[in-house]
Amino acid sequence: MAAEQDPEARAAARALLTDLYQATMALGYWRAGRAQEQAEFELFFRGCPFGGAFALAAGLRDCVRFLRAFRLQDADVQFLASMLPSDTDPAFFEHLRALDCSDVTVRALPEGSLAFPGVSCRVPLLQVCGPLLVVQLLETPLLCLVSYASLIATNAARLRLIAGPKKRLLEMGLRRAQGPDGGLTASTYSYLGGFDGSSNVLAGQLRGVPLAGTLAHSFITSFLGTEVPPNPMLAPAASQGPMVDLAACVEAWLDRVCAHLGLGVQEPHRGERAAFVAYALAFPRAFQGLLDTYSVQRSGLPNFLAVALALGELGYRAVGVRLDSGDLLQQAQEIRRVFRSISAQFQMPWLESISITVSNNIDEEELTRLAQEGSEVNVIGIGTNVVTCPRQPSLGCVYKLVSVGGQPRMKLTEDPEKQTLPGSKAAFRLLGADGSPLLDLLQLAEEAPPQAGQELRVWPRGAQGACTVRPAHVEPLLRLWVQQGQLCEPLPSLAESRAFAQLSLSRLSPEHKRLEQPAQYRVALSDKLQALVARLRAGGSS
């Protein structure tokens, strides 16, 4: 299976990013003569994260990249040889050298799909079919690629639901992420889950995530106010008229701003003002101010206004301010009042609607407060609480065998949560007349698909018995993405998957969308699948 010219293919995951027991099982399969037996595994999760009722499927793009590049290099095989018994037949290692995913088929939920688990009944995120030895080796890397991506996307979706559609959400958590790979994954899939952009430059370069960023407190504290800009001159925005000494213009505006605010002209910090001037000279069309390095009301705000008004006089418009400490909601309201007052006083109408960005360890509770009616906050930057998922650090995905050689396999255990569903399956979402989901149906792949308007007898998991349902619409859930190693259709772009996720969430009922104590979504089995489960339970899965 030839890998495409994709710079991220090897970066997604390497073949030995796996658990040792995958290699020991591979040797066991090979010695038993079972390496080429056709097998099917399903990747799914057992419970929705964060106490919610849904998850967003993510990571498929990375999985496809990994599969298309999968190959054990000579150094990989040599290392495995050093880990396995010294008398292992060399022919096994030659077999490993020839492995690729040219015989692997993958069906999966499209990225951005809503996924729901039920008691012992889950629509898989991925179905992986192929030679037993190969698809067994794929378990750990596929789990690694899907689990964290889906967790991040789901966390981001929850934060988007809290913020509502009008607030801009920025992911700013790279420095808090679990390593570089975790940082790139978090920036990518927080965008898929509903964030508007990221500070992560690599995510912008590799994944096309929109970027946002301004300046840090270190930039401001590096200035004392005694620095002389090598070129303080700035041309008007329309490029007509003489160049102006921006620093001198700012000092003139500072007198007027301080007089209006009732401040002494010596109160705003000189170094902070010099930093703002330096930044404005570099970014006259995108000037933003970080206000809380010294004092928001007595320094950061008047210094910002002096620079913004000086730029406005030249035809430029400052784009916003940021707060990174204190009571963010209250300060934003106070700043907006000052903006409106200054806007009216100096007849700069654009000033009153300047964007206010806030950050500082914002979690779901604080986000709820910032998103309330009457909040003057426009943009919210979230770092730690989106990339580390502190409420639940793992989605708990598993990868389970469901058939070998065309025969169904089922894990039986006293714990119903850990029982698996046997056989190759298809999955459908049954929808009401208004397009809202009624339930997800799992059935054997050999069964005819359900039809809109057809009455169906189904077995909801956790219920006492069967019930009937008549869907107005039926959507197949699992799509064929890779067949015998070949990509069947182009993968949607990240932006397209993001739009699909938001559409999916918009169709979800309010009771399932609730973030606390939501109604549990129903997942059901067909008659035939229910009968197979009952037969295998009675016979001990044989």
In this prediction, residue 299 carries a pLDDT of 98
Taking alpha carbons only, the member of 30, 22, 129, 16 closest to residue 66 is 16
Q: For CATH 3.20.20, list the domain ranges present in the chain.
A: 213-382
Span 339-364, pLDDT tens digits: 999 999 999 999 999 999 999 999 99
What is the distance between the alpha carbons of residues 168 and 389, in angstroms, rounded to a whole number? 20
d(CA 508, CA 439): 11
Contacts of 174 (CB under 8 A, 6+ apart): 183, 186, 187, 198, 199, 200, 383, 387
Whether 133 and 22 have beta carbons less than 8 Å apart is answered as no
User: What's the whole-model pTM score?
Assistant: 0.94
- Tally: H helices and E strands in the chain: 19, 25
Residue 3 or residue 205, greater confidence: 205
Q: Is the pLDDT of residue 406 over 80?
A: yes
Tell me which amino acid residue 197 is. G
pLDDT tens, position by position, 384-405: 999 999 999 999 999 999 999 9
Of the CATH numbers 3.40.190.170, 3.40.50.300, 3.20.140.10, 3.40.50.11540, which one belongs to the domain with range 7-160+392-539? 3.20.140.10
DSSP state of 98: T
Whole-number Å distance between alpha carbons of 10 and 70: 8
Place of tokens 């349902």: 469
Residues of the chain within CATH 3.20.140.10 domain(s) are: 7-160+392-539
Q: Give 213-382's CATH code, choosing from 3.20.20, 1.10.3470, 3.30.70, 3.40.30.
A: 3.20.20
Confidence band for 2, pLDDT divided at 50, 70 and 90: very low
Mean pLDDT on 410-414? 82
Model pLDDT for residues 290-320, shown as the tens digit of each residue = 999 999 999 999 999 999 999 999 999 999 9
Mean pLDDT of all residues in 119-147: 93
**Average confidence score pLDDT of the chain:** 94
At 413 the pLDDT is 77
Q: Is 432:471 a contact under the CB 8 Å cutoff?
A: yes
Looking up tokens 């994709």 gives 6
What confidence category does residue 461 fall into, taking pLDDT thresholds of 50, 70 and 90?
confident
